[in-house]
Amino acid sequence: MTLPTYFLSHGGGPWPWLRDQFGAAYDVLDASLRDIPRQVGGKPKAVLVVSSHWETEPFQLSSGTQPGMIYDYGGFPPHTYRIVYGAPGSPALAARAQALLQAAGIDAGLDAGRGFDHGTFSAMYPVFPEADVPIVQLSLRRNLDPQAHLAAGRALRPLRDEGVLIVGSGLSYHNLRAFNGAGAAASHQFDGWLRAAMALPPEERSIALTHWEQAPAARAAHPREEHLLPLMVALGAAEHEAAEVVYHEDTFFGALAVSSFRFGAGNR
């Protein structure tokens, strides 16, 4: 069975542990994440998460057996700095992914000390709340070149036939200076373009997304593109397959348009 790939808008900070503060604000996102095991037919053997919160040169893969926690956020309640998401790592998957990248001429290293950042544990907790699926993180390349990340996805495509779920974790809109009504227009313009691009024929889709800066309100939506680049890896690993919107809101944080996508068939 060939697993689909995903680009997930992972929300803000440690939101799954702040339901009292946020109320129903994350209910739609939470439901979309909890539905992923059904879409993929159960639990995969492992997950490869492309993290928007880890940039290196060259690519790096987390290769420890029991990754620790990285609380890469600020201003949240004390209990959010004691969160433990205890999913195991997978040195074998890290080595396999490294080999695939290197075989494609893409330099990649292993980092046994890298822990889970919130782009991973906040997104994966609703999907696998029992933390019983091994997870390996893949960094972004520091130059944030869309073509390099698309190529990395292409190289990693065989993992889908090996029971590995490839997930790009970011946000389809990420301008923290306008993460409110001030960013509404830009988020809606960019999100509309992004969803339209997903419906293009595969070759046109890849070209459009690697030239994302030409999209309406592109730099207003992504002053820096680290939260968009995981999308390129997820796309590259399923480049010739259909995309489907699996999460969309027009009023995220009151006014923002955000989306998540699946590439390849899932269970309807």
Cα dihedral value 122, 125, 131, 133, nearest 10: -90
Q: Per residue in 171-188, pLDDT tens? A: 999 999 999 899 999 999
| pLDDT for residue 191 is more than 60 | yes
Domains of the chain with bracketed CATH:
5-263 (3.40.830.10)
For the record, the structure tokens of 191 come out as 């999100």
pLDDT tier at 266, thresholds 50, 70, 90: low
Classify burial at 20, counting beta carbons within 10 Å of its beta carbon; exposed 0-12, middle 13-18, buried 19 or more: exposed
Are residues 260 and 7 in contact, defined by beta-carbon separation less than 8 angstroms? Answer: yes
**Quick one: pLDDT at residue 73?**
95
Q: Per residue in 110-139, pLDDT tens? A: 999 999 999 999 999 999 999 999 999 999
For the record, the structure tokens of 29 come out as 């996102």
